[in-house]
Amino acid sequence: MASQSAVDVREHYIRGGLWIAVMVMVGWSLCLTGPLAVAAWMRYGLVPSGALIWLAFAVAGTVAAVTVPRDRGPRAALPWTVCCVLLAGAGANALTVPGGFFSHYNFGFTTAGLFGLVVLWRRSFAEYLAFLTADAVVALLTLVLLGEATRASLASFIVVCAGGGALPISIYLGIRAVAATATRAAEAEDAAARTRNTQLAAEAVQAARRARYETIRAAAVRLLDGLAAGSLDLSAEGTRQEIAVAVTRLRRFLVESDDVPDPLSHELRACADAAERRGVAVDLIAAAGAIPMLPVGIRRALTEPIIHVLAATTSRARITVVASAAEVAVAIVADARLAAPISSADDSVQCDWDEEEGRLWAQARWMVSSASLS
């Protein structure tokens, strides 16, 4: 399916071509057939001159010029009603004009083809070709009725048909060829833009992942350097918690880019797995409510307090998630003791915690009023 911009480009060229057809129709009517009708009127009278037919053509052309540009799909009955008026006028003009079918006062046959071009501009080429064929049939019938169907006149008739149809057909097909070329160019530009946007998005994601990885790597390197140098005491509770936090952050980082329907629960599961590997029993309750799609930064801010509590947990923890379209709250209850207060690095996430009788409760809460889902 063509993109909207490509559709707009095609419509721009089609409308431009329509105005070209309208100008040709108006110029032909005012500069060529109009003076002929007036001259015949002055010489032969109103009815034989075809002036009334010229006026009917002018009304039909005005209706087409006003209605066709406004609608991409004109009403079904209107174009063919106008076409019937044009065909009837062409036949009447040929039968009533002085001098016979090939008189220079007989303007209806050729004029109908140009007016029909405007009327059927938004129709298929087959429909317009059918109208030109009907116009030729009407002209041929009038030639027969006038008793002028000789070999020479039939040859002249074929030449007139070819000459009269060449201009409108060239306009119709030429404009559509230009529109098709412009549409393909617009589609190619849209495809190139989508490719560039995809590449920029991929580069942005990669840069963000690289930055997160470098942050985690720096913490891990610092801990490993401390262990290698003997400056860190593994028997100290704070050291063990710091190592557990670094390990859990790494596991969360590894799953942040996974394509899953619920990224927050997926990352909480990774944090719980890291704690379970240390022998902590973690009960991760299914989320109450539908979790909206949150940016990775907000998800990280919601899971960061959980990581710190799990790192300090002795044996058991319970994680719950309550979510709606406007709010997400992640809470944990564990037998843990924190060495430092819990805080959030993201202003859009509020952290609360309470410690009583060896039990620690902590919650990270995000609300739509303080952050955007985009």
pLDDT given at position 320: 95
Contact 82, 57 (CB under 8 A): no
Contacts of 127 (CB under 8 A, 6+ apart): 120
Give the tokens for residue 115: 């007016």
Q: What is the mean pLDDT of each run of 10 residues along the chain (374 residues)?
A: 77 88 90 86 82 89 82 62 90 87 86 90 90 93 89 90 89 92 88 86 75 67 65 66 82 85 93 92 92 90 92 93 93 86 79 85 84 43
Find the DSSP H helices in 97-124.
108-119
Phi-psi label, residue 357: left if phi above 0, alpha if psi -120 to 50, beta otherwise:
left
pLDDT given at position 77: 65
pLDDT given at position 108: 87
Q: Based on the number of CB atoms within 10 Å of its own CB, is 72 exposed (0-12), middle (13-18) or buried (19 or more)? A: exposed
pLDDT given at position 101: 86
State whether the Cα torsion 40-45-48-54 is positive or negative: positive
Looking at 3.30.420.40, 3.30.565.10, 3.30.910.10, 3.40.50.2300, the CATH number of the domain 233-370 comes to 3.30.565.10
pLDDT given at position 373: 43
User: Residue type for 179, please?
Assistant: A
Domain ranges for the chain: 4-190, 233-370
Contact 356, 338 (CB under 8 A): no
C-alpha Rg value of the chain to the nearest Å: 40
Q: Based on the number of CB atoms within 10 Å of its own CB, is 298 exposed (0-12), middle (13-18) or buried (19 or more)? A: buried
